[in-house]
Amino acid sequence: MEPQSVLVRSKTAPFGFGFTGCGKLSLRHINKHLQGHSINPICHSHQTQEPLKTQSDFPFYPKPLSFSSKRARTHFLTPLNCSISNATSPDSQNPLLKPLKNLSFDSLKDNLLKLTPYDIVKWSAVLSVSVAAAKWTLNGLFNPFFWMYFSWTWMFWPWILAAAVAVYGLYCFRKYSRGEANIFEQLAVVTSAFTWLTLVPPAHFNGFLEGWPFVFFFAYHYFFFFNVSVRKRLYGDYYLRPHDPKWDVNPPRWCRLLFCVGVMVGHWLAAFEGPELHRIGGGWSNVGIWVMILVTLLMQYNSTLYLAKYSEKVVVPTAVVQFGPYRWVRHPIYASTMLLFVGYCISLRAPLALLFVVAVCLWYYEQKAKLEEALMVETFGESYVEYASKVRYKFIPFVY
């Protein structure tokens, strides 16, 4: 089948283009386009500009038809040399999409586990400034009366979702107690516990969630996953290593159960005692709470890191740690946990709940600290006795 051709005449510069079965189009000067009885395009690469081919370059082509004109023509336009091909060039792809090619769940997980508290503080500051700027812009664009009656930061609490999270968390905890829970199920256990600690109580007494409950929900997650980040930093993964079970020091089971119940009651008491969420002041009145949160996170991270440096398999100590937060108190990890609960009570303006939670934590950690210190004296002898005489306070500097 002969190719179809279309000629476009112009007083300035005649052009022609033709279509063939190769699925390509060629647009060029007509004197270089017509070839014998058939018109075939000469395909060129659109990546480089090549000069037009002459008859000597293609000796197997028949002689081109000659056209004579009585009047000389002046060509003001450069003959076009272009082609359309079905092939896709790598250079024609969008460069903005190249970073997405290497994006995967494993790489994202590795990057998240490498984050340090300083990175979290830095990106949290950037996010806070961005959110504040965006909210200020929206408040200026929309009617201010709209924001008085409805806030986009409020979330009306769905009790069905809370119950579903609790049921699934108990199911995963049952598997975890038998050693069958995978990583996602272990995360579900922690998320379920923190949901019923920080989100459900204020939502029950207010009907919606706003402000500090959200902040502490994520702060609790980050706080209790520091051990995972330390294992990732030391070993390249987050799995526990086999160790001597004598270092698994825990009070009796009834004592641990009573501690968990006391912490839960303390959080519910804070939500009941505190004012409605929209009545809690904002702005500079919360600077002290933010400082307390940062101190808590940094204390827990540094305590875990220093302890792991002088321990075998993270759990078994090989020396008496006297650096970092251990210069001020003998049990800084327990102290940071108490400080986290205290920060939640202060943010909700609940002083009675604060005293209750501190009393529960001191009662439980006092028993656990006695067992651990007895084991440290048995293992390291005078070294730990000398350290205990130098650092007299267990949990609270200059107080207890």
Arithmetic mean of pLDDT, 291-311: 88
Backbone angles phi, psi at 19, to 5 degrees: -115, 140
Cβ-based burial of 212 (10 A; exposed 0-12, middle 13-18, buried ≥19): buried
For 56-102, the pLDDT digits (tens) are 444 444 444 444 444 444 444 445 454 444 444 444 455 555 555 66
For 10-42, the pLDDT digits (tens) are 444 444 444 444 444 444 444 444 444 444 444
Question: What pLDDT score does 19 carry?
Answer: 47
Highest mean pLDDT among 232-236, 265-269, 323-327: 265-269
The Cα 353–Cα 342 span in angstroms is: 9
The Cα 17–Cα 82 span in angstroms is: 10
Question: What pLDDT score does 170 carry?
Answer: 93
Pick from 139, 140, 143: nearest CA to 153: 139
Residue 152: both structure tokens together: 């986009």
Backbone angles phi, psi at 262, to 5 degrees: -65, -40
Lowest-confidence pick of 92-101, 170-179, 219-228: 92-101
Lowest-confidence pick of 129-138, 195-204, 293-302: 129-138
Supply the DSSP string of 48-113, one letter for each residue.
Answer: S--PPP-GGG-TTSPPPPP---SS-----SPPP-EEE-SSPPGGGS-GGGHHHHT--HHHHHHHHH
Going by DSSP bridges, is the β-strand pair 155-156/208-209 parallel, antiparallel, or unpaired?
antiparallel
Residue 347 has pLDDT above 90, yes or no: yes
The Cα 374–Cα 76 span in angstroms is: 98
For 370-385, the pLDDT digits (tens) are 999 999 999 898 999 9
- Residue 197 has what DSSP assignment? I
Question: What pLDDT score does 278 carry?
Answer: 84
Residue position matching structure tokens 């038809």: 65
Residue 334 has pLDDT above 50, yes or no: yes
> Percent of the chain having pLDDT more than 90?
30
Question: What pLDDT score does 296 carry?
Answer: 92
Q: Name 30's Cβ contacts closer than 8 Å, sequence gap at least 6.
A: 7, 14, 15, 16
Residue 236 has pLDDT above 80, yes or no: no
- Is residue 113 within 8 Å of residue 232, measured between CB atoms? yes
Lowest-confidence pick of 13-22, 181-190, 288-297: 13-22
Residue 169 has pLDDT above 60, yes or no: yes
Residue 263 has pLDDT above 90, yes or no: yes
Q: Is the pTM of the predicted complex or chain greater than 0.75? A: no
N-terminal to C-terminal alpha carbon distance within the chain: 98
Query: What's the chain's average pLDDT?
Result: 75
Pick from 320, 334, 335: nearest CA to 390: 320
- Is residue 34 within 8 Å of residue 15, measured between CB atoms? no
For 304-315, the pLDDT digits (tens) are 888 888 887 778
> Percent of the chain having pLDDT more than 70?
69
Residue 341 has pLDDT above 90, yes or no: yes
The residue length of the chain stands at: 400
Residue 105 has pLDDT above 90, yes or no: no
Residue 90: both structure tokens together: 């790598």
Question: What pLDDT score does 10 carry?
Answer: 42
| Interaxial angle between packed helices 287-309 and 332-347, expressed in degrees from 0 to 180 and rounded to the nearest 10 | 160
